[in-house]
Amino acid sequence: MLVIKLRRHKEEEILKSYSFLLCLFFFVLANHHIENKVEKRLSYIDTLIENLQSENWENDVVCYDKILEILHSARNSSLWAVWVLDSIQLPTGVLYGSKYQLGNYDECMKAVWLHTHPELRTKYCLVDVQLTDVVPQKGGEVNPYGTMEPYINTKTKHARALNTITWGICVPSQCGKDGVAIFLRMLLRFSALGGLSSEPRISVDDCQLAGEPYLYGTGVSVFFYVILSLMIIAVASTWYLSVNDCETSDSILPKLAKVFCMNKNTYDLVKPSSDDIPALHGVRALTAFIFVLTHQVFFHNSAAVVNGLDVDKDLDMVLFTTHTDLLTDTFLLMSGLLLARGLATKEKLENPLLALWKRYIRLIGPMALMVFYMASVFKHMGDGPMWPRLVGYEQETCEKNWWLSLLMLNNYINSEEMCYIILWYIPADYQLTILGIALIYFCRRHHRLGMVTVGVVAVLSVLLPAVDTYHQRLPATLIYDIETMINIRGNAVFNNTYIRSHHRVGAYLVGLAVGYLMAWYKPAQYKNIINKVYFFILYLTLIHRWIGVGSSHQDFFFKVI
């Protein structure tokens, strides 16, 4: 009995020993697994530190120290350091046409401890990176088993280059451009694009400092004082005319009050006219609607999209991407029509210089206000990763070339740096108005010689654009590909043909001719002039030609010959 008890006791001791050893084994195994997880979690930061130390930081030692501090602190899970790294995004979707890698701008610029711990301040830098040295060419069939380099060196169907990206990166406030470039080059090696054989070209464009005091320039105050003054004058003029009977007064004050009176101006704007052409309102509204739609497509495609290849497919809706200059011709045609119709039936024409001066005064007021706004106020109306680049450049051009806009010369002189690029239309319209008034006055004084002159101008309106286009080896029309949408200022067709008024004379002359005919031929209803059958045939023909012109360039890069 005693032997049995001793044997049982010994077995229990052995069992306890085995249990202890088994628990110890699982503990060591679990601990090893946890250590491996921690090691894996920290391996990325450790590798960054190792690579950071292998770079040449002679030109920006302070930046090196600060970035190294961030990485060591992030390894210890310090909030402020993880916050900085969390705002940085490695490039994604580049092969699918995602050009802009902006990270998290607000996280970099608006840390919650920004005002309590200024020593942790960062800045957001926008960097242009050319991944390869090859000039992209239009690609063919894609080989999925080949390397990525041939693919990334191609352009898509609509000229979207894949080998350039714009990268927003958060760095310590002490970093200079050299330090930013080194850090970004190091991060690029850890991305999916790190296997490219070419050394990337890095250009640090602009940096925004977090927590920097926001200062408004004098121009902002002046602009808002001008707006406030105009509002006060308008209200005072409206009140003055409402309490005084000034209909028969010839004094200066009532005349000035009528200019600014809101009631009178509203009435003049909406009152019907017996000499009105209702159809033009529909044409104007429809054209303006298409203009807004095409410009929306334009800005959408030039923005920071992440699915560029899908956007390229959308561009195959060619009605919105080809020959939209014809829409501008619609407005110029209406301008010529109204000018000729207004002057053709006048028994006595006023001094042409006076007529041009009145036209200039009507145009220059709103234009000057817009130029002033763009030069002084616009940059203060928002913020964001791309804001300083886009809006800052507009402000610089307006500060530099505002006088060209006021002289109506910005579509010919220094047009690549034109203030607010859509303002090219106003000087073009005014320059064509000078031509229209000159032709009408000449025809009224010397009818036969004037008609010959009109014929010569009509021939030149066809020949000059053709010769100009051929001589400069330009496409026949402005092709709205991705390159054009991103940087239309650098497009040769836009600068040398699209905005030049002598390339728009044809449409304006058609408007003058139609206006002249409408002035002398006045049926009761214009809409019944053309037979409905003929109108329907003409309508289908125009739609067919519009679609034909729109689908002509999509698969080709145009040259003159």
What letter does residue 322 receive in the DSSP assignment?
A: B
Planar angle of CA 470, 471, 472, nearest 5 degrees: 95
Report pLDDT for 286: 84
The pLDDT of residue 38 is above 60: no
Report pLDDT for 307: 82
> Nearest-CA neighbor of 97 among 173, 33, 44, 154?
154
Tokens of 339: 């000018």
The pLDDT of residue 555 is above 50: no
* Count of beta carbons in the 10 Å neighbourhood of residue 531: 9
Q: Find out whether 155 and 161 touch, Cβ atoms under 8 Å.
A: yes
Task: List strands edge to edge, sheet with 122-130.
Answer: 100-101, 164-172, 122-130, 201-209
The pLDDT of residue 19 is above 50: yes
Report pLDDT for 491: 86
Which amino acid is residue 383, in one-letter code? D
What letter does residue 473 receive in the DSSP assignment?
A: T
* Count of beta carbons in the 10 Å neighbourhood of residue 499: 25
Classify 168 as helix, strand or coil: strand
Gap between the Cα atoms of 67 and 45, Å rounded: 11
Gap between the Cα atoms of 552 and 555, Å rounded: 8
Gap between the Cα atoms of 102 and 109, Å rounded: 13
The H-assigned helical ranges of 420-550 are 425-445, 447-471, 482-486, 492-493, 505-520, 532-550
Identify the residue whose tokens are 């139609």.
514
Gap between the Cα atoms of 533 and 492, Å rounded: 43
Weakest-pLDDT range from 30-44, 86-100, 270-284:
30-44
The pLDDT of residue 245 is above 80: no
Report pLDDT for 404: 94
The pLDDT of residue 11 is above 70: no
Identify the residue whose tokens are 């900085």.
84
Helices (H) and strands (E) in the chain, counts: 20, 6
Rg (Cα) of the chain, in Å, rounded? 35
Weakest-pLDDT range from 3-17, 62-76, 224-238:
3-17
The pLDDT-based confidence of 319 (bands split at 50, 70, 90) is very low
Average pLDDT (422-437) is 94
Q: Find out whether 526 and 481 touch, Cβ atoms under 8 Å.
A: no
Report pLDDT for 546: 59
Greater model confidence, 106 or 161:
106
Gap between the Cα atoms of 327 and 321, Å rounded: 12
Calculate the average pLDDT of the chain: 82
Average pLDDT (349-368) is 91
Weakest-pLDDT range from 243-257, 275-289, 497-511:
243-257
Report pLDDT for 527: 59
Rounding to the nearest 10 degrees, give the CA dihedral for residues 397, 400, 405, 408. Answer: -120
164-172 and 100-101 beta bridge pairing: parallel
Rounding to the nearest 10 degrees, give the CA dihedral for residues 463, 468, 469, 470. Answer: 90
Classify 479 as helix, strand or coil: strand
Q: Find out whether 334 and 511 touch, Cβ atoms under 8 Å.
A: yes
The pLDDT of residue 403 is above 90: yes
The pLDDT of residue 1 is above 70: no
Mean pLDDT: which of 210-219, 358-367, 480-489, 514-523 is highest? Answer: 358-367
Report pLDDT for 507: 92
Average pLDDT (19-28) is 52
- Please spell the DSSP secondary structure of 242-310, one letter per residue: HHS--TT--SHHHHHHHHH-HHHHHHHHH---TT--HHHHHHHHHHHHHHHHHHHHHHHHTS--S-HHH
The pLDDT-based confidence of 253 (bands split at 50, 70, 90) is confident
Gap between the Cα atoms of 13 and 9, Å rounded: 6
The pLDDT-based confidence of 12 (bands split at 50, 70, 90) is low
Which amino acid is residue 229, in one-letter code? S
User: Each residue of 103-128: pLDDT tens digit?
Assistant: 999 999 999 998 899 899 999 999 99
Enclosing H/E stretch for 364: helix 352-376
Report pLDDT for 78: 92
Q: Find out whether 554 and 327 touch, Cβ atoms under 8 Å.
A: no
The pLDDT-based confidence of 560 (bands split at 50, 70, 90) is very low
Greater model confidence, 435 or 280:
435
Report pLDDT for 187: 92
Gap between the Cα atoms of 72 and 66, Å rounded: 10
Average pLDDT (396-412) is 93
Q: Is the dihedral of CA 108, 109, 112, 117 positive or negative?
A: positive
User: Who's near 493: CB < 8 A, 6+ residues apart?
Assistant: 474, 475, 477, 478, 479
Mean pLDDT: which of 317-326, 405-414, 525-534 is highest? Answer: 405-414
Report pLDDT for 561: 36
Rounding to the nearest 10 degrees, give the CA dihedral for residues 256, 262, 268, 272. Answer: -160
What letter does residue 137 receive in the DSSP assignment?
A: E
User: Each residue of 49-105: pLDDT tens digit?
Assistant: 888 888 888 888 999 999 999 999 998 899 999 999 999 989 998 998 888 999 999
The pLDDT-based confidence of 34 (bands split at 50, 70, 90) is very low
Q: Find out whether 515 and 277 touch, Cβ atoms under 8 Å.
A: no
Which amino acid is residue 378, in one-letter code? F
> Nearest-CA neighbor of 361 among 430, 417, 312?
430
Which amino acid is residue 393, in one-letter code? Y
Mean pLDDT: which of 19-23, 315-319, 362-366, 477-481 is highest? Answer: 362-366
Classify 182 as helix, strand or coil: helix
The pLDDT-based confidence of 8 (bands split at 50, 70, 90) is low
The pLDDT of residue 216 is above 50: yes
The pLDDT-based confidence of 248 (bands split at 50, 70, 90) is low
Report pLDDT for 557: 40
Report pLDDT for 547: 56
User: Who's near 38: CB < 8 A, 6+ residues apart?
Assistant: none
Q: Model pTM?
A: 0.80
User: Could you report how far apart the first and last alpha carbons of the chain are, in Å?
Assistant: 115
> Nearest-CA neighbor of 126 among 204, 24, 238, 11?
204
Strand partners, 170: 124
Average pLDDT (200-213) is 89
